[in-house]
Amino acid sequence: MSKDLMTLNVMGPYREPQEPAFSYDYSVQRPDWATPQGVRIKVSIEHELDYLKNTILKFSGGSVGQQIRCNQLLVRAIADQKLKIVDADGQLAERLDVMIGPFTRDTFGHLFGLLDQWMQAEKDTLRQSITDQIGI
pTM: 0.93
In angstroms, rounded to a whole number, what is the distance separating the alpha carbons of residues 3 and 22?
27
% of the chain surpassing 70 pLDDT:
97
- DSSP conformation class of 116: H
Q: What is the pLDDT of residues 19-66, one digit of tens each?
A: 999 999 999 999 988 899 999 999 999 999 999 999 999 988 889 999
Q: Does 93 have pLDDT greater than 90?
A: no
SS3 (DSSP) at 28:
strand
Q: Are 74 and 49 in contact (CB under 8 A)?
A: yes
